[in-house]
Every structure is written in C-alpha cells, then in structure tokens.
Amino acid sequence: MLLTGILHLMSPLIYGTTIDTTGLILFGIIYTLLGILVHIKKENKLIGILSIICPIIGVTLGTIFVITGLLPGDAFLIFVLLLDPITIILRIYMSKQL
C-alpha cells in the first residue's frame, strides 16, 4: 500500500498538477494513509477491507481513464495500474492470515 501510495503521489512530478492528475494525487493520499494504518492497526478489519476496496476502485477508474484518453497510457501509469492488482492480491492474502 505504501509503495503504490508513494508512486501515486509522485505523479505530479511526471505529469504536473492538473485536473487529470488530481485523482492520482487523491488516491495516493488514501493509499499512503491506509498503508500506514495497515501497519499500525493490523487487527482492524475495516482498515483491511478498505485497503482492498480502494485499490479495486482506483484500478477500475484508472483503466477507464486510460482507455478513454483522459490519462496518458505511458509506462509509468501502466506500471502503477499493474501494481494495484498485485496490491489487492497481497492485501487479500495478508487479511486471511490474521
């Protein structure tokens, strides 16, 4: 969660701060906060569920925006979009371990 959050927060360095990248920044803040909370409160089920649902929403919206051309389909964004499903799978696996 922290890695994908930090990558989302780095998007203004690559694309600049525009209306299009506002969503990337917003999801970066959410992912970073969830990543910190996941490490602090490992037993909290709500945080665990949110750390699965938010990346699902993010990767869905990101994919739609890339397909429609609202966001560029460059290597950085594709990498971030491919990292979200990995994050989702890892969070599901980790939440089942608790």
How do the pLDDT tens digits run along the chain, 98 residues long? 899 999 999 988 988 888 878 888 999 999 999 999 999 988 889 999 999 999 999 999 999 999 998 888 899 989 999 999 999 999 999 888 86
Closest CA to 57 of 91, 29, 88: 88
For residue 70, the model assigns a pLDDT of 86
Q: Is the torsion defined by CA of 46, 61, 8, 4 positive or negative?
A: positive
> Using only C-alpha atoms, what is the Rg of the chain?
13
Is residue 55 a contact partner of residue 83, using CB atoms and an 8 Å limit? no
Q: Which two tokens stand for residue 82?
A: 């491919």
Amino acid identity, position 74: D
- State the virtual CA torsion across 65, 54, 79, 94 in degrees, nearest 10: -160
For residue 17, the model assigns a pLDDT of 85
